[in-house]
Amino acid sequence: MTDYPYVPGLAGVPAARTSVCYLDGNIGKLQYRGYPIEVLAEHCTFEEVTYLLLFGKLPTRNELAAFDAELKSERRLKFRIIDVLKQLPESGHPMDALTAAVATMGMFYPGDHVEDAEFRRLTVVRIIAKLPTIVAAWHRIRRGDDPIKPREDLGHAANFLYMLDGRVPSKTAERVFDVGLILHAEHSMNASTFSARVTGSTLADPYAVVASAVGTLAGPLHGGANERVLSMLQTIGESSPAAVRHWAEDRLARKDKIMGFGHREYKVKDPRAVILQRLAVQLFDEMGATPIYDTAVELERQMADLVGKKGIYPNVDFYSGIVYERLGIPIELFTPIFAIARVSGWLAHLLEQLQDNRIFRPNQIWTGQVDREFTPIDER
């Protein structure tokens, strides 16, 4: 029996001391290692931000070049990992394939990540480098196509897009996708990051840590919201103010969730949504607009009038799916792309957890009976 207060979902309960990510949802402030997300999105590449998250500082030009070269050298998959992917059912979800492949990787690259700092660093680089290759390979394998080998002359973002269909993206498309990865790379103690830290606290290897985080991200309450935003916007149909307002009022009256709005942390518009909306406009200028964007903008305007006073504003998922769709990325890859980005944050938290590790062992509040009298089976 305990007298501890029960907090559903551990909402607001500190689970770690960290210097990886700072978030103040009341004012929409998001920072990686003390750098505002707006600055990083404008001036950095995903590789540069990944280095910052992992090692706590922005790299010099030489450090970034060496890190980038190492990532590129680790992109290829062992053929036996490709064989594992080929044995999976074509109807399986890409997140399940990613979980299986990452867990399998641990068997091919054993070592002591706890005591051997160099092996730990190499493992982190290897996982970040190979996740895009796994996702792209599975996407092609399930359609009956051969995987496209990664290219070392392309950056992290451009190479992933290339591995999907063999076409090198435009500079605008590359930059938009690169920033999308930056915006999803880290977000404080979310469910998948907590899962990663819990698994890491047992001293499980980094592959098991990432596999557990991917499994957590696959849940519909965590990853995949941008997929449902697109489906939702398509149901609205007409983008006129009257039609959109009627649709929103009807959903709110029925207390149905409107996907892409509201966030457990933010009471203002998600700063990542602000950046993504600006990127969407840049992308449309080059590739042409999509009617669904007009519907999204009108829905945001109507929702601000209807529920803005309650602190319900667009989150990162509201515009990310629109951007990814315009880039020609299949909807079923939206959540795996989330993992491709967030793995940098997961591994940064793992490295931090290992610095002063203590296994997670929370308490519980007992609600059952005690000291029950046993009845033999013949007397029940």
Cα separation, 81 vs 110, in Å, equals 15
Where are the alpha helices (H) located in the chain, listed in sequence order? 37-43, 46-55, 61-73, 79-87, 94-108, 117-141, 156-165, 171-184, 191-201, 206-217, 225-236, 241-253, 271-287, 291-307, 316-326, 334-355
Pick the catalytic residue from 317, 349, 371, 378.
317
SS3 at position 309: helix
CA angle at residue 280 from 329 to 258, to 5 degrees? 80
Q: Is 64 in contact with 358 (CB distance < 8 Å)?
A: no
Residue 211 · residue 101 · CB < 8 Å: no
Do the Cβ atoms of 150 and 158 come closer than 8 Å?
no
DSSP letter, residue 369: -
| Phi and psi, residue 142, nearest 5° | -70, -20
Q: What is the distance between the alpha carbons of residues 182 and 17, in angstroms, rounded to a whole number?
A: 23
* Annotated catalytic residue, options 156, 187, 263, 349: 263
- Residue 120: Cβ within 10 Å count: 20
Catalytic-residue membership of 317: yes
Token pair belonging to 163: 């591995």
Maximal CA-CA distance, the chain: 78
Catalytic residues: 263, 317
